[in-house]
Protein backbone atom coordinates (compact mmCIF):
# COMPACT_ATOMS: atom_id res chain seq x y z
CA UNK A 1 0.00 0.00 0.00
CA UNK A 2 1.30 3.44 -0.86
CA UNK A 3 2.07 5.39 2.29
CA UNK A 4 -0.56 7.82 3.49
CA UNK A 5 1.95 10.73 3.67
CA UNK A 6 2.78 10.53 -0.02
CA UNK A 7 -0.86 10.97 -0.95
CA UNK A 8 -1.40 14.24 0.92
CA UNK A 9 -1.27 17.26 -1.41
CA UNK A 10 -1.22 20.65 0.28
CA UNK A 11 -1.65 22.49 -3.03
CA UNK A 12 -4.29 21.76 -5.59
CA UNK A 13 -3.99 23.35 -9.02
CA UNK A 14 -6.90 25.57 -9.98
CA UNK A 15 -8.69 24.99 -13.26
CA UNK A 16 -7.77 28.55 -14.29
CA UNK A 17 -5.57 31.19 -12.59
CA UNK A 18 -7.49 33.88 -10.75
CA UNK A 19 -7.44 37.02 -12.88
CA UNK A 20 -9.79 39.09 -10.74
CA UNK A 21 -8.57 42.66 -10.29
CA UNK A 22 -9.70 42.64 -6.67
CA UNK A 23 -7.72 39.50 -5.87
CA UNK A 24 -4.61 40.88 -7.55
CA UNK A 25 -4.90 44.10 -5.55
CA UNK A 26 -5.26 42.06 -2.35
CA UNK A 27 -2.15 40.06 -3.25
CA UNK A 28 -0.13 43.24 -3.75
CA UNK A 29 -1.43 44.86 -0.54
CA UNK A 30 -0.82 41.64 1.38
CA UNK A 31 2.73 41.47 0.06
CA UNK A 32 3.41 45.05 1.10
CA UNK A 33 1.95 44.53 4.58
CA UNK A 34 3.83 41.26 5.13
CA UNK A 35 7.08 42.85 3.91
CA UNK A 36 6.58 45.73 6.34
CA UNK A 37 6.10 43.26 9.21
CA UNK A 38 9.25 41.31 8.29
CA UNK A 39 11.14 44.52 7.51
CA UNK A 40 10.42 45.88 10.98
CA UNK A 41 13.10 43.49 12.25
CA UNK A 42 15.69 45.57 10.38
CA UNK A 43 15.07 48.54 12.69
CA UNK A 44 15.83 46.59 15.89
CA UNK A 45 19.68 46.91 15.68
CA UNK A 46 19.28 50.70 15.50
CA UNK A 47 17.03 50.81 18.56
CA UNK A 48 14.25 52.43 16.52
CA UNK A 49 10.56 51.76 16.99
CA UNK A 50 9.37 50.32 13.64
CA UNK A 51 6.00 52.09 13.91
CA UNK A 52 7.76 55.40 14.48
CA UNK A 53 10.13 54.71 11.57
CA UNK A 54 7.32 53.85 9.16
CA UNK A 55 5.36 56.87 10.35
CA UNK A 56 8.33 59.12 9.62
CA UNK A 57 8.81 57.52 6.22
CA UNK A 58 5.18 58.06 5.22
CA UNK A 59 4.85 61.59 6.64
CA UNK A 60 8.05 62.83 4.98
CA UNK A 61 7.07 61.37 1.60
CA UNK A 62 3.36 62.16 1.51
CA UNK A 63 2.58 64.39 4.48
CA UNK A 64 3.64 67.81 3.20
CA UNK A 65 3.83 69.75 -0.06
CA UNK A 66 7.60 69.54 -0.42
CA UNK A 67 7.83 65.82 0.30
CA UNK A 68 4.93 65.05 -2.01
CA UNK A 69 6.53 67.04 -4.83
CA UNK A 70 9.79 65.07 -4.46
CA UNK A 71 7.80 61.84 -4.51
CA UNK A 72 6.04 62.82 -7.73
CA UNK A 73 9.36 63.77 -9.37
CA UNK A 74 10.91 60.45 -8.31
CA UNK A 75 7.89 58.48 -9.53
CA UNK A 76 7.86 59.96 -13.04
CA UNK A 77 10.92 58.15 -14.48
CA UNK A 78 9.92 54.95 -12.67
CA UNK A 79 6.53 55.05 -14.36
CA UNK A 80 8.03 55.72 -17.78
CA UNK A 81 10.50 52.84 -17.48
CA UNK A 82 7.64 50.68 -16.22
CA UNK A 83 5.57 51.56 -19.29
CA UNK A 84 8.46 50.46 -21.48
CA UNK A 85 8.64 47.23 -19.52
CA UNK A 86 4.92 46.58 -20.00
CA UNK A 87 5.09 47.11 -23.76
CA UNK A 88 8.21 44.98 -24.20
CA UNK A 89 7.23 42.13 -21.89
CA UNK A 90 3.69 41.82 -23.21
CA UNK A 91 5.26 41.24 -26.63
CA UNK A 92 7.41 38.35 -25.31
CA UNK A 93 10.47 40.63 -25.40
CA UNK A 94 11.87 40.27 -21.88
CA UNK A 95 14.15 43.28 -21.97
CA UNK A 96 15.92 44.27 -18.75
CA UNK A 97 18.34 46.90 -20.06
CA UNK A 98 16.29 50.03 -19.44
CA UNK A 99 19.04 51.50 -17.28
CA UNK A 100 21.25 51.65 -20.36
CA UNK A 101 18.38 52.96 -22.51
CA UNK A 102 17.88 55.82 -20.05
CA UNK A 103 21.57 56.70 -20.32
CA UNK A 104 21.44 56.68 -24.13
CA UNK A 105 18.34 58.88 -24.18
CA UNK A 106 19.86 61.28 -21.64
CA UNK A 107 23.23 61.68 -23.37
CA UNK A 108 21.73 62.08 -26.85
CA UNK A 109 19.27 64.69 -25.59
CA UNK A 110 22.05 66.51 -23.73
CA UNK A 111 24.20 66.57 -26.87
CA UNK A 112 21.31 68.04 -28.85
CA UNK A 113 20.55 70.63 -26.14
CA UNK A 114 24.17 71.77 -25.91
CA UNK A 115 24.24 72.20 -29.69
CA UNK A 116 21.10 74.33 -29.63
CA UNK A 117 22.97 77.17 -27.92
CA UNK A 118 24.91 80.08 -29.38
CA UNK A 119 27.65 78.73 -31.62
CA UNK A 120 26.18 75.21 -31.66
CA UNK A 121 25.39 73.11 -34.70
CA UNK A 122 21.68 73.93 -34.63
CA UNK A 123 21.85 77.44 -33.18
CA UNK A 124 19.25 78.92 -30.86
CA UNK A 125 15.89 77.23 -31.38
CA UNK A 126 12.57 78.53 -30.03
CA UNK A 127 11.38 76.52 -27.04
CA UNK A 128 8.32 75.24 -28.90
CA UNK A 129 10.65 73.79 -31.55
CA UNK A 130 13.37 72.63 -29.17
CA UNK A 131 11.27 70.47 -26.83
CA UNK A 132 9.61 68.29 -29.50
CA UNK A 133 12.92 67.86 -31.33
CA UNK A 134 14.96 66.96 -28.25
CA UNK A 135 12.34 64.38 -27.23
CA UNK A 136 12.42 62.93 -30.75
CA UNK A 137 16.23 62.68 -30.64
CA UNK A 138 16.23 60.91 -27.27
CA UNK A 139 13.36 58.61 -28.28
CA UNK A 140 15.01 57.55 -31.53
CA UNK A 141 18.47 57.06 -30.00
CA UNK A 142 17.23 54.91 -27.10
CA UNK A 143 14.67 53.15 -29.30
CA UNK A 144 17.33 52.10 -31.80
CA UNK A 145 19.59 51.02 -28.92
CA UNK A 146 16.92 48.63 -27.63
CA UNK A 147 15.95 47.53 -31.15
CA UNK A 148 19.49 46.19 -31.65
CA UNK A 149 18.78 43.64 -28.91
CA UNK A 150 15.37 42.95 -30.43
CA UNK A 151 16.97 42.27 -33.80
CA UNK A 152 19.46 39.86 -32.23
CA UNK A 153 16.53 38.05 -30.60
CA UNK A 154 14.33 37.64 -33.68
CA UNK A 155 17.04 37.12 -36.29
CA UNK A 156 19.93 35.52 -34.44
CA UNK A 157 17.83 33.77 -31.74
CA UNK A 158 19.87 35.37 -28.98
CA UNK A 159 18.79 35.52 -25.36
CA UNK A 160 17.43 39.03 -24.83
CA UNK A 161 17.84 38.89 -21.04
CA UNK A 162 21.58 38.28 -21.21
CA UNK A 163 22.09 40.67 -24.13
CA UNK A 164 20.13 43.48 -22.50
CA UNK A 165 21.96 43.07 -19.20
CA UNK A 166 25.29 43.31 -20.99
CA UNK A 167 24.08 46.31 -23.01
CA UNK A 168 23.61 48.16 -19.71
CA UNK A 169 27.33 48.02 -19.03
CA UNK A 170 28.17 49.12 -22.57
CA UNK A 171 25.88 52.15 -22.26
CA UNK A 172 27.09 53.09 -18.79
CA UNK A 173 30.77 52.85 -19.71
CA UNK A 174 30.15 54.78 -22.93
CA UNK A 175 28.55 57.62 -20.98
CA UNK A 176 31.36 57.52 -18.42
CA UNK A 177 33.81 58.03 -21.29
CA UNK A 178 31.83 60.88 -22.83
CA UNK A 179 31.25 62.89 -19.64
CA UNK A 180 34.86 62.39 -18.53
CA UNK A 181 36.30 63.10 -21.99
CA UNK A 182 34.84 64.72 -25.12
CA UNK A 183 31.76 66.24 -23.47
CA UNK A 184 33.28 67.14 -20.10
CA UNK A 185 32.85 70.66 -18.74
CA UNK A 186 36.43 71.93 -18.25
CA UNK A 187 37.45 72.21 -14.61
CA UNK A 188 34.46 70.23 -13.35
CA UNK A 189 33.92 66.68 -12.13
CA UNK A 190 32.84 64.18 -14.83
CA UNK A 191 29.80 66.00 -16.19
CA UNK A 192 28.80 68.10 -19.16
CA UNK A 193 28.28 71.84 -19.28
CA UNK A 194 24.86 72.95 -17.98
CA UNK A 195 22.07 73.36 -20.49
CA UNK A 196 20.57 76.79 -21.18
CA UNK A 197 17.82 77.99 -18.80
CA UNK A 198 15.21 78.11 -21.58
CA UNK A 199 15.80 74.37 -22.10
CA UNK A 200 14.71 73.54 -18.54
CA UNK A 201 11.32 71.89 -18.20
CA UNK A 202 8.96 74.53 -16.77
CA UNK A 203 7.60 74.21 -13.25
CA UNK A 204 3.86 73.55 -13.39
CA UNK A 205 3.05 73.95 -9.66
CA UNK A 206 4.60 77.06 -8.06
CA UNK A 207 6.47 76.45 -4.82
CA UNK A 208 7.39 72.88 -5.76
CA UNK A 209 9.81 71.13 -8.12
CA UNK A 210 7.02 69.45 -10.11
CA UNK A 211 7.88 70.14 -13.74
CA UNK A 212 6.25 69.51 -17.12
CA UNK A 213 7.84 66.07 -17.32
CA UNK A 214 5.01 64.89 -15.05
CA UNK A 215 2.51 65.86 -17.75
CA UNK A 216 4.52 63.87 -20.30
CA UNK A 217 4.44 60.89 -17.95
CA UNK A 218 0.67 61.12 -17.47
CA UNK A 219 0.13 61.38 -21.22
CA UNK A 220 2.29 58.29 -21.78
CA UNK A 221 0.24 56.28 -19.27
CA UNK A 222 -2.96 57.04 -21.19
CA UNK A 223 -1.32 56.45 -24.59
CA UNK A 224 0.13 53.12 -23.45
CA UNK A 225 -3.26 51.99 -22.18
CA UNK A 226 -4.90 52.99 -25.46
CA UNK A 227 -2.14 51.31 -27.47
CA UNK A 228 -2.55 47.98 -25.70
CA UNK A 229 -6.35 47.93 -25.49
CA UNK A 230 -7.70 49.91 -28.45
CA UNK A 231 -5.32 49.40 -31.37
CA UNK A 232 -4.49 46.60 -33.75
CA UNK A 233 -0.79 46.91 -32.93
CA UNK A 234 -1.53 46.46 -29.22
CA UNK A 235 -3.59 43.36 -29.98
CA UNK A 236 -0.71 41.95 -32.05
CA UNK A 237 1.74 42.68 -29.23
CA UNK A 238 -0.38 40.83 -26.68
CA UNK A 239 -0.99 37.93 -29.07
CA UNK A 240 2.71 37.65 -29.84
CA UNK A 241 3.45 37.54 -26.13
CA UNK A 242 0.70 35.18 -25.01
CA UNK A 243 0.83 32.57 -27.78
CA UNK A 244 3.60 32.86 -30.31
CA UNK A 245 2.44 30.07 -32.61
CA UNK A 246 -1.21 31.10 -32.60
CA UNK A 247 -0.16 34.65 -33.50
CA UNK A 248 1.76 33.35 -36.52
CA UNK A 249 -1.14 31.16 -37.64
CA UNK A 250 -3.47 34.17 -37.48
CA UNK A 251 -1.19 36.12 -39.82
CA UNK A 252 0.68 38.28 -37.29
CA UNK A 253 4.30 39.03 -38.12
CA UNK A 254 5.73 38.26 -34.69
CA UNK A 255 9.27 39.37 -35.54
CA UNK A 256 8.09 42.76 -36.79
CA UNK A 257 5.88 43.17 -33.74
CA UNK A 258 8.79 42.50 -31.38
CA UNK A 259 10.98 45.05 -33.18
CA UNK A 260 8.25 47.71 -33.01
CA UNK A 261 7.72 46.95 -29.31
CA UNK A 262 11.46 47.26 -28.70
CA UNK A 263 11.62 50.65 -30.41
CA UNK A 264 8.61 52.02 -28.50
CA UNK A 265 9.76 50.64 -25.13
CA UNK A 266 13.29 51.95 -25.59
CA UNK A 267 12.00 55.34 -26.72
CA UNK A 268 9.90 55.77 -23.59
CA UNK A 269 12.88 54.87 -21.37
CA UNK A 270 15.05 57.30 -23.34
CA UNK A 271 12.59 60.13 -22.72
CA UNK A 272 12.67 59.21 -19.00
CA UNK A 273 16.44 59.74 -19.03
CA UNK A 274 16.01 63.04 -20.92
CA UNK A 275 13.53 64.32 -18.33
CA UNK A 276 16.09 63.68 -15.60
CA UNK A 277 18.43 66.03 -17.50
CA UNK A 278 15.95 68.74 -18.47
CA UNK A 279 13.91 68.71 -15.28
CA UNK A 280 16.19 67.70 -12.41
CA UNK A 281 19.96 67.90 -13.00
CA UNK A 282 20.17 70.29 -15.98
CA UNK A 283 23.30 68.56 -17.25
CA UNK A 284 24.49 65.03 -17.98
CA UNK A 285 26.60 63.40 -15.31
CA UNK A 286 27.87 60.00 -14.27
CA UNK A 287 25.26 57.98 -12.34
CA UNK A 288 22.37 60.25 -13.31
CA UNK A 289 19.80 57.43 -13.40
CA UNK A 290 20.56 56.15 -9.86
CA UNK A 291 19.27 52.67 -10.70
CA UNK A 292 15.87 53.92 -11.90
CA UNK A 293 16.08 51.67 -14.95
CA UNK A 294 16.12 48.59 -12.73
CA UNK A 295 13.59 49.83 -10.17
CA UNK A 296 11.16 50.74 -12.95
CA UNK A 297 11.02 47.08 -13.99
CA UNK A 298 10.19 46.12 -10.42
CA UNK A 299 7.36 48.66 -10.20
CA UNK A 300 5.92 47.31 -13.46
CA UNK A 301 5.84 43.82 -11.94
CA UNK A 302 4.34 45.17 -8.73
CA UNK A 303 1.67 46.90 -10.82
CA UNK A 304 0.88 43.55 -12.51
CA UNK A 305 2.00 44.93 -15.91
CA UNK A 306 -0.97 47.29 -15.93
CA UNK A 307 -0.32 50.98 -16.78
CA UNK A 308 -2.57 52.28 -14.01
CA UNK A 309 -1.41 49.70 -11.46
CA UNK A 310 2.13 50.72 -12.35
CA UNK A 311 1.32 54.32 -11.46
CA UNK A 312 0.32 53.40 -7.90
CA UNK A 313 3.28 51.05 -7.47
CA UNK A 314 5.81 53.63 -8.70
CA UNK A 315 4.29 56.34 -6.50
CA UNK A 316 4.59 54.02 -3.51
CA UNK A 317 8.19 53.04 -4.31
CA UNK A 318 9.20 56.66 -4.91
CA UNK A 319 7.63 57.63 -1.58
CA UNK A 320 9.61 54.93 0.20
CA UNK A 321 12.84 56.28 -1.29
CA UNK A 322 12.04 59.88 -0.33
CA UNK A 323 10.99 58.80 3.17
CA UNK A 324 14.10 56.65 3.60
CA UNK A 325 16.35 59.58 2.73
CA UNK A 326 14.52 61.68 5.31
CA UNK A 327 14.98 58.93 7.92
CA UNK A 328 18.69 58.80 7.15
CA UNK A 329 18.99 62.53 7.84
CA UNK A 330 16.94 62.48 11.05
CA UNK A 331 17.61 59.03 12.56
CA UNK A 332 20.87 57.91 10.90
CA UNK A 333 19.09 54.86 9.46
CA UNK A 334 20.74 53.87 6.15
CA UNK A 335 18.59 54.02 3.02
CA UNK A 336 19.55 50.38 2.40
CA UNK A 337 16.84 49.46 4.92
CA UNK A 338 14.17 50.80 2.57
CA UNK A 339 15.84 49.04 -0.36
CA UNK A 340 15.73 45.78 1.58
CA UNK A 341 12.02 46.23 2.28
CA UNK A 342 11.39 46.94 -1.40
CA UNK A 343 13.19 43.72 -2.29
CA UNK A 344 11.12 41.82 0.28
CA UNK A 345 7.93 43.14 -1.29
CA UNK A 346 8.89 41.70 -4.67
CA UNK A 347 9.97 38.31 -3.26
CA UNK A 348 6.83 37.96 -1.14
CA UNK A 349 4.65 39.03 -4.07
CA UNK A 350 6.06 36.21 -6.19
CA UNK A 351 5.44 33.76 -3.34
CA UNK A 352 1.87 34.98 -2.84
CA UNK A 353 1.30 34.79 -6.59
CA UNK A 354 1.35 31.00 -6.26
CA UNK A 355 -2.12 31.21 -4.73
CA UNK A 356 -3.54 32.60 -7.96
CA UNK A 357 -2.75 29.28 -9.62
CA UNK A 358 -2.97 26.86 -6.70
CA UNK A 359 -5.42 26.37 -3.88
CA UNK A 360 -4.09 25.61 -0.41
CA UNK A 361 -5.80 22.48 0.98
CA UNK A 362 -5.25 21.38 4.56
CA UNK A 363 -4.14 17.76 5.14
CA UNK A 364 -7.46 16.74 6.73
CA UNK A 365 -9.72 18.84 4.59
CA UNK A 366 -12.92 16.88 3.68
CA UNK A 367 -12.08 17.08 -0.03
CA UNK A 368 -8.65 15.56 0.65
CA UNK A 369 -10.09 12.75 2.72
CA UNK A 370 -12.65 11.99 0.04
CA UNK A 371 -9.97 11.89 -2.65
CA UNK A 372 -7.77 9.69 -0.50
CA UNK A 373 -10.56 7.23 0.07
CA UNK A 374 -11.02 6.99 -3.69
CA UNK A 375 -7.30 6.64 -4.45
CA UNK A 376 -6.02 4.38 -1.65
CA UNK A 377 -6.69 0.69 -2.46
CA UNK A 378 -8.92 -1.06 0.02
CA UNK A 379 -7.28 -3.60 2.27
CA UNK A 380 -7.15 -6.93 0.53
CA UNK A 381 -7.60 -5.36 -2.92
CA UNK A 382 -5.36 -6.12 -5.89
Residues 36-80 have pLDDT tens digits of 898 888 888 888 888 888 888 888 888 888 889 999 999 999 999
Residues 262-298 have pLDDT tens digits of 999 999 999 999 999 999 999 999 889 988 999 999 9
pLDDT for 1: 43
- Residue among 112, 136, 106, 124 at smallest CA distance from 198: 124
**pLDDT, the chain, mean:** 87
Q: What percent of the chain has pLDDT over 70?
A: 92
> For residue 254, what pLDDT band results from cuts at 50, 70 and 90?
very high
- Residue among 353, 326, 352 at smallest CA distance from 337: 326
DSSP three-state, residue 366:
helix
Distance (Å, whole) CA 239 – CA 260: 14
Residues 170-215 have pLDDT tens digits of 999 999 999 999 999 988 788 999 999 999 999 999 989 899 999 9
pLDDT for 46: 80
**Averaged over 336-365, what is the pLDDT?**
78
Distance (Å, whole) CA 333 – CA 310: 28
pLDDT for 370: 55
Residue 288's Cα: distance from chain center in Å? 16
- Residue among 157, 143, 162, 18 at smallest CA distance from 88: 143
Distance (Å, whole) CA 119 – CA 365: 79
Instruction: Please check whether residue 340 is in contact with residue 36, taking contact to mean a CB–CB distance below 8 angstroms.
Output: no
**Within 10 Å of residue 259's Cβ, how many Cβ atoms?**
20
Strand partners, 359: 12
For the purposes of burial, counting CB atoms within 10 Å of the CB of 299, is it exposed (0-12), middle (13-18) or buried (19 or more)?
buried
Least confident residue range of 144-153, 313-322, 353-362: 353-362
Instruction: Please check whether residue 311 is in contact with residue 221, taking contact to mean a CB–CB distance below 8 angstroms.
Output: yes
In the predicted structure, residue 367 carries a pLDDT above the cut 60:
no
Residues 123-165 have pLDDT tens digits of 888 989 999 999 999 999 999 999 999 999 999 999 999 999 9
Distance (Å, whole) CA 20 – CA 305: 14
Q: How far is CA 27 from CA 31, 132, 350, in A?
A: 6, 40, 10
In the predicted structure, residue 98 carries a pLDDT above the cut 80:
yes
> For residue 382, what pLDDT band results from cuts at 50, 70 and 90?
very low
In the predicted structure, residue 368 carries a pLDDT above the cut 80:
no
> For residue 344, what pLDDT band results from cuts at 50, 70 and 90?
confident
This prediction's pTM: 0.87
Which helix (H) or strand (E) element contains residue 32? helix 21-39
- Residue among 266, 143, 272, 119 at smallest CA distance from 201: 272
Distance (Å, whole) CA 266 – CA 176: 20
Strand partners, 12: 359
Give the dihedral sign, CA 315/83/291/196. negative
- Side-chain half-sphere of 279: how many Cα atoms within 13 Å? 30
Give the dihedral sign, CA 110/209/264/342. positive
Amino acid sequence: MTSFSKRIHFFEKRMEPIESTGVQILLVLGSVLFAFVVGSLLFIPFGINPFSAYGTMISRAFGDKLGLSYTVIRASPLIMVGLGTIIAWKSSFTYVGFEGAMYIGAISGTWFALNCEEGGIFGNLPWFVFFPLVMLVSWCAAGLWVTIVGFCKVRLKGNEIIMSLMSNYIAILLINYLVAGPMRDPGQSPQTSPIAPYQHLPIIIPGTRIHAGVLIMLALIVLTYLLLTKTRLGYEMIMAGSNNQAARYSGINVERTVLISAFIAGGIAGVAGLIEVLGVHFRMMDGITQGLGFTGIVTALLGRLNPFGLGFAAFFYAGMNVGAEAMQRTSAIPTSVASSIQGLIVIILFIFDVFRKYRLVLPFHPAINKNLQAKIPQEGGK
